[in-house]
Each structure stands twice: as C-alpha cells, then as structure tokens.
Structure 1
Amino acid sequence: MTMIDLGEVALDPAPPAVPVNVPRVRRAVLAGLALLGSLVLTGAAPPAPPTVRTLWTTPLDNGESVSLSGDTAFLNRMTDRGGAEVAAYDLATGRLRWAAPTGETLAGFTPLVTANRVLVATEVVNLAETRPEQSRYIMYARATIALDATTGAERWRVAGDFNTGMDDSTGLVTEYDDAGQLIRLLLVRLSDGHELWSRPLTGLASWSTIYQDDQPTGIVTVTASGELRIYGYDDGKLRRSARVPWDPERSELFTAGPYLALRHSRANRASTTLYRPGDLRALWHTDDELGYVTGCDRLLCTIDGGGVAGRDPQTGQEVWRHPGMQGLRALGPGRLLLDDGRGGPDGTHQVVEAGSGRPVGEPGVGTPMWNRSKGSILVMQRSEAPVGRYAVRRLDVSTGARTLLGTIAPLGDAGCLGTERYLACTNYGTLTVTAVG
C-alpha cells in the first residue's frame, strides 16, 4: 500500500546524490597523443564504438512505469484499447519480447521483478482520508498478478497487495478492507503463489518487516492501544508481545535492521526509543529530533538536524558523524552513500565505511542510478565539456573510484534507472535506453 501523508511532515531524506571527477587536462592530452600514435602505427584503424550511445526509444507517459532486470525492461503501461499491460523489451535492441494484459486500468505501481516473476498490482483502490489533525491519501491493490519473466504467461494471482518484505523464494501479501485498513497478512511462495500461512489482523495502527543481514526474519505490528506483537516471518506464529506508549496521531514504528524504533512527536520535538526484538527490552532512548533510524552494517544510522551518525545499537552512543549530510543509502557490505539531502544534479554525496564512517574516495556531485550491479552504480552529473550535456560515470563502491563513460543529451524531466550496461531514462513522455559500456 502507498500512503502519502499531507499533514505533519517527518524528516525523509531525499534520494542520495552523485559523484563528480573531471579528467585532468594532462591525462586527456596524453590519451589523445597515445591514440594518435596508435593510428599512425596501425594505419587507418577504425575508431572504437562510443562507450555511451543511445539504443532505442518508446513512448512512456505519466503514470506509466518501468523496471529493469538483467537484460530486460518491463513497462507497466496503457494499451491503445484503453486497458493496462506489462510489456517486456530487450534492453540491447528494443525488441518486444512479450506483452501481457493486467487489467482494465493502469495500476500505478512499478512492476516488481524477482525470482523470474514479474509481480503486477491490479484492481487498485484510491482513498482520500481527512481528519482534523491531518489528511492522508491511501492507494492499495486488491489483487496481484505474477507473470513469468521469460514468457509473460500468468503463473498465479492472489488477493492483496504485493509490495512488502520478501526473500529469494517467498513474499508477504497484505490485504485491506474497503476503508484501507489492513485486515490480513499472508506469505506466498514466489514460484507458484502457494499460501504458506495466513494471519487475520484487526485494529492495526502500524506494522513493518524485521530484517537480519538483509533477510526478513519477523513481522512487528502495533495497535492503536499500543499492543506490540512480533510474528515469525517463516510461519506467521506469535513470538512475543508487549505494551508500548502509542499515540495514533503522533507515534511512528520503524524497523532498523534487526531492531525496533518507536518515535513520538510532540510540539516541535520528538523522542525515539530503540527495542531489541528478542525480548522487547528498551535499549536506549533519545530526545534528539531523529528523523530516521536504519540498520547500517553492524551499527544503526540516524539522521537529525546535525547530520548523519553511526551509533552503537546497544547503547545509542555515536561511533561516527558526518555533519551536513541528510540522507543515506546502503551500497553493499560495509559501504554507505551519504548525501546532503538536496538530490538532483547539484546535490553532493560521499561514500563511507559503514563501521567507521571513514570516507572512501573523494566526495561527488550528481544523481545516482540505484540498480546496483557487480559492486558499482552509475551516476550522472552536469557535464563541464561539452556544456549542456550530462556526464555518465561508474562509481566503484569498494574504492570510491569514478570512471567517466561518456555523456548523454539533456534530461529535462527525466528520471533514470541503471544496470551494469544500460541506462533507462524517462523524458517528456518517452523512455530512452542508452548503452553505457
């Protein structure tokens, strides 16, 4: 379910920014001389194909979306006949591999690709809820369709919304009533949609999935009266329960890796308490305005007005801090990308070691493409030469090194996804796929 809170806004970091590393003039000159010498020695050798080059385009309007997986782009779009479909395109050639109908109207969710299944929301409900304290916009799906990623054949469908915790073979489905209230959780097998367990729920104020080493291990729920319960992910059985302070209008429940965080807002300030799921014992408490708590390697990372900090999970004591940073993203084992919260081509960022906070490489500027592959991500920034284009670089997350791949045309309203070899950008109703080496 997607929920947009139109009332009080909590700190929610913008997507991290991107690195910059302009090649030195001397290196460029030497490279040019080396190339000239090579041409002289080998005769009229044909030039190598450009590393960055546009491959194909296709229409993609507002509300339509795209996911990338391996060598395929999956488009969730409207058809000429007015219905909705998912279409699979070969990233290298733009060839349509298959198209499968998914309903009478566009779902509004991006296809989720996992375990050779394309999970597509359908029968979407939009609700507007207005209260004296705040207004909320709620969107959820009444059903999910699983398509074979290779052929587009429908493999199974299930009642509920499939956009929550999962591992390599299973995933959670949430079912809602007509008022947008969660009434049931179930775990299904991705290969065939078989229901592994189902649990009815009532009176929930919030819930979340607990992770250990990036794998789901449990589910935590809290009711409007403050009854907190933890269920096993594999079997849905109740593990433990406790009562916690809870105000439905001012309290928030987070999961930060294997830990639980309860945040209570009040009159221009907030307090946060960390709990251990094993026995629901409170570990530490702070009255600092923490807008975000998340697991980061063996520490917990928090964001407040003074920056991003890595904390000891047991005590809350700061291990490291980067002032001025307002966002973070895990890049893989032992690596984080911190950003200043501005986002876009002018935002700054820094790769750091998760455990020590030590900078890895130089800080950068620009926008990251988050489809990580083989230890690197693609990043884009405004090009200094030629002016008016965007430079595409590959960021090595282990060393912080950045390699210039080439430039692309101005992006306009574009949003982009990247894989190891492709960049897919939406721009004024068009999806453009670019090879990046």
Structure 2
Amino acid sequence: MTVIDLGELRGDVAPDPPPRPPLAVGRPLRVALAGAVALLTLASSTPVARPASAVVAGRPGAEVRVAGGRLYVADPETSSGGTREVTAYATPSGAGGALRPLWRASGPGGEGQIEVLEQGGFVLIIGRRDGWAETVALDTATGRQRWRLPGYPVPTVGGGLLLFGGGDETTDPVRVVDLSSGRPRWSAPVDRGRMAYRHRGAEIDQIVLIPESGRIEVRDAGSGAVLLTGDSRPGGAPGYQGAGLAGDLLLVSAANGVAGGHRVTAYGLDALDRRWELDLSPNEYLEECGHLLCVGGREAGLSALDPATHRPRWVNPRWQWIFAARGDRLLVASRARVGGMELAVLDAATGRTVAELGGWEPVLNQGPDEPLFGTRRTREGGLLVAELDPARAVARWLDVLPDVMGECLSSGRDLLCRRQSGAYGWWRLPR
C-alpha cells in the first residue's frame, strides 16, 4: 500500500467570488453583513491538523464503504447470483498509515454499490439486484455470518430490524426480525400498498401500513401490535404514490390527475383524522424543516407551512432545496450559475437568509445528526474539503486533497473519496 500525500493548504486556493445577495427577504443589509462575515471566516480558515489518511487497496471494480471507524472493501461479484467477498480494515491513527485487515467474509451479491451499517455489535452488508435488497449480518469483531435475509434493514426499538424491499411487492410482507439471530418477531402483508415509519433517534418506534385495499394500520415497531386503524382510502384517492411521517402527522401522497401533480393529505397519528390537503406540482416536494413543513424544488423557491393548519409561514424565493435541519437553522441550496450548488443557512422560524456559503458539493453521509461536509475544486485541481456548520453559519476549511476525483461520502468524521487513479482514499477529518 502507498501513502497519500495530502500536501499543504496553499494560500492560492481561490474562494468563490462574493455570491449575489438574496432577493428581498427579511433585512437585506443584515443578510449582506452576515454573508460577508461568513466569507471572511471561510477565507481566513486554516487546517487544525493534518488528518489521518490511507490509500484503500482493492481489485478493479471494488466498492468501499466506511462505518463505525472501519473500512469495508467489497470485491466485485465473481459470478451472476453469487456473493461478494468483504474485507474489514482498521484505520490508522496517522497520516499515510497502512490499513490493518481484520477479517474477510462473504457478503451479498448484486450490481452497483453496497451499503454498510453497524448496529448493536453487528455489521449489516446490504446489496441490491434488480431493485431488490439483500442483507447479510456479520459479527463486527470476527466477521462470522449470523444470518442472510432478503430486504433492506432499518433498526427498530428493542433490538429489532425492519426488513422491506426484498422481493415481489405484491406478496412480500413487512417483517421485523431479531438483530442477533435474524429470527422473525412479527410480519404483516403490505397488499401492494405503501409503508411509512417514525424515527425516535436512530431507531423507529411506529410503522404505518397503507394498502390499496383494506385498512390503514399503525403498528408498534417492536411488538407489531396494532395501535390504531383508519380509513383504507384516505380522501378517496386511488393509487397511493408515497407516504411519510412528519412529527405527529401521517402524510399520504396520491396522484391528483393534474399533469403529473400529486395531492398530499395529512392525518393526525393519534386518531388518523384528516387534517388538511395540499396539491403539489410534479417538481415539488414536502418535508420537515425544523418544527415546520417546507415545500421545495420549485421556481418560486422554498416556503414553510404550519404543520397544524398548512398555512404559509414564510417564503424565501432564492433557494429551492433543503439539505439538513439543525435546531433552528436550515442548510439550503439552489442551482449555481455554472453547475454545482450554491448553499446558504436560513433561520428555520422566519426563512431569513442568515449567510450564503458559496458553491459547494455536499458530501453524502449516513445519518441525520452526523457532521456535514462539502467539497469544491481549487485552481490547481485539488479538492477543498470544508465542514458546513449551520449553527455558526460558516463553511470551515479543513484541508485540500490532491489527486482526488470526487464521489465522496462520510460517516462521522471519516471521509471516503475516489482518487484519480480509480482507487479510494480515506481521511479522518479534524474537528
């Protein structure tokens, strides 16, 4: 294995030109001053420390993932319908250190990228084939296989796993299994319908089944007990397209018959009583944003609604997408003038633009509460990495990575990116 030369953070890394001010929202002068402070903070930042790093060796076509401070390398599938060999590595403590192999095991086959989740002393390796998922549970310490089942895993309260999307949706039931053994705890038919679930921290505590025909059921995720039933055809709209939970609301989406648009119907989770309806265009979406609901993805910008009444609370026409909500701040984006994304921080209660952070490519991460990172190209072709901090409304420079192509993802403060050679590089980013 070789060492990645991280190089030095040079003074000639070019920050973005000052972004244009937002349209008339809130207090323009205050917004402009906040944006200027953010740019000065960005320009004056220097790395806190050279991060630990390593080059990840692997066969051509290997996929690499990071979870729980370890690296997992999955070799390409050797034959159609077979398995993929997965090797777990301990990461070094210093820059350019060697990865230490821990164990090697058989993982799920399939095409494309694998996913890795560490949970309760086990590592779950997820593969996909023809749109269906399969999960293999391995002992984190030894790599010994505990079980292999169809479906995508989501941790539930009480040490269980919800498995779904593992087969024919017309017959495949929703199942909750025991994490350590894979033995079923309970199951229920989906009946060509949809499912939604509510998170409590990193686990889910309630599951809602919404069939095309039959009753809506709210179930306890741990035991499968039916807590509540309701109307099987909310609003009389056939052909459910999706469902989700936001706070104490169930949001059911169905086609509204207007040029590909859809209607969202909100129900209270305590009684499944209909609260309100909202029609959205094909390019719009509805999601939580702090204590409100936000409509995004449209030319008119972002707008926030009161969850209880769906009455408008604010509109900010400058931004179209929400990347993350952190307390009373939102990290939002709009399409940049020349490719990429322009990012900003908004006040969640008012929609006021607190600071514009300039152009960054957000890094995919594995959890809603993990650190947020962004990347951008330097003039010399390196990849500048910054921590995106909505609470402080800044993008804090961390380091410049040479010879990196992109395709980055993170887990905690571990960053994984593909290098120009096609191999992967790993860095543990400083705080």
Category of TM-score, reference length = shorter chain: 0.7 to 0.9
Shift of 1:417: 1.6
Find the residue that maps to 1:314 and give its secondary structure. coil
2:186 aligned residue: 197
Shift of 1:280: 1.3
User: Of 92, 104, 118, which aligns to 2:123?
Assistant: 118
Shift of 1:406: 2.0
Find the residue that maps to 1:78 and give its secondary structure. coil
Per-residue deviation, residues 253-303 of structure 1 (Å, max 9, x unmatched):
333343222233323243322111211112122234373222233222222
Per-residue deviation, residues 184-226 of structure 1 (Å, max 9, x unmatched):
2222232443433233x15222222133566523222222237
User: Of 83, 91, 98, which aligns to 2:103?
Assistant: 98
Within 5 A, what are the aligned runs for 1:246-395? 246-248=237-239, 251-265=241-255, 266-268=257-259, 269-289=261-281, 291-305=284-298, 306-340=300-334, 346-371=340-365, 376-383=371-378, 386-395=379-388
- TM-score between the two structures when normalised by the length of structure 1: 0.74
Q: Cα 1:236–1:375, aligned 2, differ >3 Å: closer, same or farther? A: closer
1:162 aligned residue: 152
2:6 aligned residue: none
2:57 aligned residue: 58
Q: Distance in 2 between matches of 1:148 and 1:343?
A: 48
Query: Counterpart amino acid of 1:349?
Result: L
For the 8 Å contact 2:332–2:343, the answer to whether it is kept is: yes
Q: Distance in 1 between matches of 2:293 and 2:329?
A: 13
Name which structure has the greater RCO, CA cutoff 8 Å, separation 6+.
Answer: 1
Q: Cα 1:343–1:79, aligned 2, differ >3 Å: closer, same or farther? A: farther
1:153 aligned residue: 144
2:28 aligned residue: none
For the 8 Å contact 2:296–2:321, the answer to whether it is kept is: yes
1:9 aligned residue: none
Find the residue that maps to 1:225 and give its secondary structure. coil
Query: Counterpart amino acid of 2:196?
Result: S
Shift of 1:52: 5.2
Q: Cα 1:421–1:299, aligned 2, differ >3 Å: closer, same or farther? A: closer
Query: Counterpart amino acid of 2:64?
Result: V
Query: Counterpart amino acid of 2:69?
Result: D
Q: Cα 1:405–1:435, aligned 2, differ >3 Å: closer, same or farther? A: same
For the 8 Å contact 1:55–1:435, the answer to whether it is kept is: no
Q: Distance in 2 between matches of 1:283 and 1:50?
A: 52
Q: Distance in 2 between matches of 1:220 and 1:353?
A: 32
Find the residue that maps to 1:193 and give its secondary structure. coil
For the 8 Å contact 1:75–1:111, the answer to whether it is kept is: no
Q: Cα 1:175–1:254, aligned 2, differ >3 Å: closer, same or farther? A: closer
For the 8 Å contact 1:91–1:422, the answer to whether it is kept is: no
Query: Are positions 1:216 and 2:207 aligned together?
Result: no
For the 8 Å contact 1:276–1:283, the answer to whether it is kept is: yes
- TM-score between the two structures when normalised by the length of structure 2: 0.75
Shift of 1:313: 0.8
Count of residues in Structure 1 that have an aligned counterpart in Structure 2: 379
Query: Counterpart amino acid of 1:235?
Result: S
Q: Cα 1:49–1:96, aligned 2, differ >3 Å: closer, same or farther? A: farther
For the 8 Å contact 1:52–1:408, the answer to whether it is kept is: no
User: Of 152, 161, 180, which aligns to 1:171?
Assistant: 161
Q: Distance in 2 between matches of 1:25 and 1:120?
A: 38
Within 5 A, what are the aligned runs for 1:51-90? 51=50, 55-59=54-58, 61-62=60-61, 64-78=62-76, 83-90=83-90
Query: Counterpart amino acid of 1:367?
Result: E
For the 8 Å contact 2:215–2:229, the answer to whether it is kept is: no
Find the residue that maps to 1:204 and give its secondary structure. coil
Q: Cα 1:193–1:291, aligned 2, differ >3 Å: closer, same or farther? A: same
Q: Percent identity?
A: 20
1:206 aligned residue: 194
Shift of 1:100: 0.7
Query: Counterpart amino acid of 2:208?
Result: V
Query: Counterpart amino acid of 2:410?
Result: G
Q: Cα 1:415–1:176, aligned 2, differ >3 Å: closer, same or farther? A: closer
Per-residue deviation, residues 22-75 of structure 1 (Å, max 9, x unmatched):
6689969xx9xxxxxxxxxxxxxxxx996257522323655x533322321122
1:426 aligned residue: 418
Find the residue that maps to 1:235 and give its secondary structure. coil
Q: Distance in 2 between matches of 1:297 and 1:23?
A: 28
Q: Cα 1:187–1:264, aligned 2, differ >3 Å: closer, same or farther? A: closer
For the 8 Å contact 2:108–2:136, the answer to whether it is kept is: no
1:133 aligned residue: none
Q: Cα 1:26–1:79, aligned 2, differ >3 Å: closer, same or farther? A: closer
2:172 aligned residue: 183
For the 8 Å contact 1:299–1:312, the answer to whether it is kept is: yes
Shift of 1:315: 0.3
Q: Cα 1:22–1:149, aligned 2, differ >3 Å: closer, same or farther? A: farther
State which drifts further: 424-433 or 168-177: 168-177
